[in-house]
Amino acid sequence: MSEIIKNRYDFIYLFDVKDGNPNGDPDQVNLPRIDTEDQHGLVTDVCIKRKVRNYVMLEKELKSPFDIFIRQEQVLNTIIDTAIGEKISERQNNLCQKYFDIRAFGAVLSTGSKGAGTVRGPVQFTFSRSEDRIFQAEHSITRCAVTTEEDAKKQEKREHASTFGRKSTVPYALYRMHGFISASDAQKTGFSEDDLKLLWKSLINAFEHDRAAARGEMNPVKLVIFKHSSHLGNELSGRLFERVTVTKITELPRKKDDYDIKVNDNNIPQGIEIKVWPEENVY
């Protein structure tokens, strides 16, 4: 592993969706998530973290030190209880060394019989919010096959038997997520320079190996990274985020080119370096 990061980072991640459901809400019959007050679309931080984890799983093939702790069919308490060390801090270090997502996002490790406390991760995501209000389109879909003998009997008299379902999509939306990386917390989990590069790579490739008919077309649009020269930071994150503006240039945007995305790099505060993908390679 490379050395632990020594710089604080703030970043903005822009991605879009076309004719798909980026993050369904199970409490609302899986409709695309929205802010009920202003109808802007939402994608949870957990959703994007899942895509990061999935990409790391594919690239690193679950090999230590890039194994993934939070994944399907994983028995978490068994892993926590078998962590090496008598002290909580020793067990935490052992788990951080093995699992990328614990080093990055932290984890609740107090559920096992031994317990390993709670690890606060250096990488934090906000909810992603669409730049404009979204329209939750609903579509009727049909299926010629049936699932039970009872359904088959009901449709025996029909010439073309079919069952009906529903599918929800967003015609088009551009989403914006803010992220923060703490160098102080990275010292506690061991989040390294290699981990950082893998995080950027995972965000850029988050949707490439996660295709599904329900999600339509999802693609990264822009990643803007603010690197601080110090571990505590050289400027407030909110002021840095204000440097990235998104303005729609058509009344009804239907593609990324219908937005004008600008990064203000004039009079950059001392100690701040800006990198912008896809204009620059960030990993």
- The SS3 call for residue 45 is helix
pLDDT of residue 40: 98
Q: pLDDT, tens digit, for every residue of 83-108?
A: 999 899 999 999 999 999 999 999 99
Q: pLDDT, tens digit, for every residue of 8-46?
A: 999 999 999 999 999 999 999 899 999 999 999 999 999
Q: pLDDT, tens digit, for every residue of 62-87?
A: 999 999 999 998 999 999 998 999 89
Distance CA 249, CA 258 (A): 5
Higher pLDDT, 111 or 67: 67
pLDDT of residue 270: 97
Q: pLDDT, tens digit, for every residue of 228-279?
A: 999 999 999 999 999 999 999 999 999 999 999 999 999 999 999 999 999 9
Domain positions in the chain are 9-138+167-277
Confidence of residue 187 (pLDDT cuts 50, 70, 90): very high
Q: pLDDT, tens digit, for every residue of 143-163?
A: 777 778 877 777 666 655 566
4-13, 116-125, 160-169, 242-251, range with the lowest pLDDT: 160-169
The whole-model pTM stands at: 0.93
Confidence of residue 112 (pLDDT cuts 50, 70, 90): confident
DSSP annotation of 207 reads T
